[in-house]
Structure 1
Amino acid sequence: MLQRPTHPQESALFTAATTQLLAASGEGGGFQPPSISDFFPPPILFAGTPFEFNRIQLVRLIVTAVVVTVFVVGARRAKLVPGRGQNMLELVLDFVRVNIAEEVLGVEKAKKYVPLLTTIFVAILSLNLAGVIPGLNIAGTSVIGLPIVFAAWVFVMYLGAGVRAHGVGGFLRTSLFPPGVPPYMYVLLTPIEFLTVFVIRPATLAIRLVANMISGHLMLVLVVSATEFFLVEAGPSLKAYGLVTFGAALALTLFEAFIAALQAYIFVVLAAVYLNLSIQEEH
Structure 2
Amino acid sequence: MITVSADSTFVPPGVRDFFPPAIVGGVTKPMVLLVLSVVIILAFFLIAMRSPAIVPGRLQFAAEAVYGLGRDSIAREQIGGKDFKPYVPLIVSLFTFILVNNVFGIVPLLQFPTMAHAGFPLALLIVLYPLFHVVGIRRHGLGGYLRNQLFPAGVPKPVYLMLTPIELFLRFFMDPLALAIRVFAAMFAGHLILLVFTLGGEFLLLEASAWLKPVSVVAFAFAIAMTFLEALVQVLQAYIFALLTANYIGRALAADH
What TM-score do you get using the length of structure 1 for normalisation?
A: 0.85
| Aligned mates of 2:220, 2:167 — CA distance in 1 | 48
Q: Any conservation in 2 of the 1:120–1:150 contact (CA below 8 Å)?
A: no
Q: Any conservation in 1 of the 2:201–2:220 contact (CA below 8 Å)?
A: yes
Tell me what 1:209 maps to.
183
Matched AA of 1:41: P
Matched AA of 1:218: L
| Aligned mates of 1:23, 1:88 — CA distance in 2 | 52
Q: Any conservation in 1 of the 2:5–2:209 contact (CA below 8 Å)?
A: no
Matched AA of 2:223: A
Which of the residues 40, 49, 54 maps onto 2:19?
A: 40
Deviation at 1:249, TM superposition (A): 0.9
Tell me what 2:121 maps to.
147
Which of the residues 54, 60, 67 maps onto 1:86?
A: 60
Tell me what 1:20 maps to.
4
Deviation at 1:44, TM superposition (A): 2.2
Larger Rg: 1
Tell me what 1:230 maps to.
204
Deviation at 1:107, TM superposition (A): 2.5
Report SS of the residue matched to 2:23.
strand
Matched AA of 1:75: M
Which of the residues 51, 64, 80 maps onto 2:38?
A: 64
Matched, 1:134 2:108: yes
Tell me what 2:161 maps to.
187
Q: Deviations over 1:175-202 (max 9, x none)?
A: 1112222333323222221111111111
| Aligned mates of 2:205, 2:52 — CA distance in 1 | 48
The size of the alignment, in residue pairs, is 256
Q: Any conservation in 2 of the 1:176–1:194 contact (CA below 8 Å)?
A: yes
Matched AA of 1:171: Y
Matched, 1:170 2:149: no
| Aligned mates of 1:256, 1:241 — CA distance in 2 | 22
What TM-score do you get using the length of structure 2 for normalisation?
A: 0.93
Deviation at 1:282, TM superposition (A): 0.7
**Structure 2 vs 1, CA of residues 77 and 230 (structure 1 numbering), >3 Å: closer, same or farther?**
farther
Q: Deviations over 1:198-220 (max 9, x none)?
A: 11111000111100010001000
Root-mean-square deviation (Å): 1.7
Report SS of the residue matched to 2:213.
helix
Q: Any conservation in 2 of the 1:158–1:275 contact (CA below 8 Å)?
A: yes
Runs of 5+ consecutive residues of structure 1 not aligned to the other structure: 1-17, 26-30, 47-51
Report SS of the residue matched to 1:76.
coil
Deviation at 1:36, TM superposition (A): 0.2
Tell me what 1:278 maps to.
252
The more displaced of 205-214 and 226-235 is 226-235
**Structure 2 vs 1, CA of residues 238 and 276 (structure 1 numbering), >3 Å: closer, same or farther?**
same
Matched, 1:197 2:171: yes
Matched AA of 1:44: I
Q: Any conservation in 2 of the 1:32–1:225 contact (CA below 8 Å)?
A: no
Report SS of the residue matched to 1:41.
coil
| Aligned mates of 2:3, 2:170 — CA distance in 1 | 52
Q: Deviations over 1:41-76 (max 9, x none)?
A: 222232xxxxx2111112212222222211222222
Deviation at 1:24, TM superposition (A): 4.1
Of structures 1 and 2, the one scoring higher in RCO (CA 8 A, sep 6+) is 2
Instruction: Work out the percentage of aligned pairs sharing the same amino acid.
Output: 37
Q: Any conservation in 1 of the 2:149–2:171 contact (CA below 8 Å)?
A: yes
Deviation at 1:166, TM superposition (A): 0.4
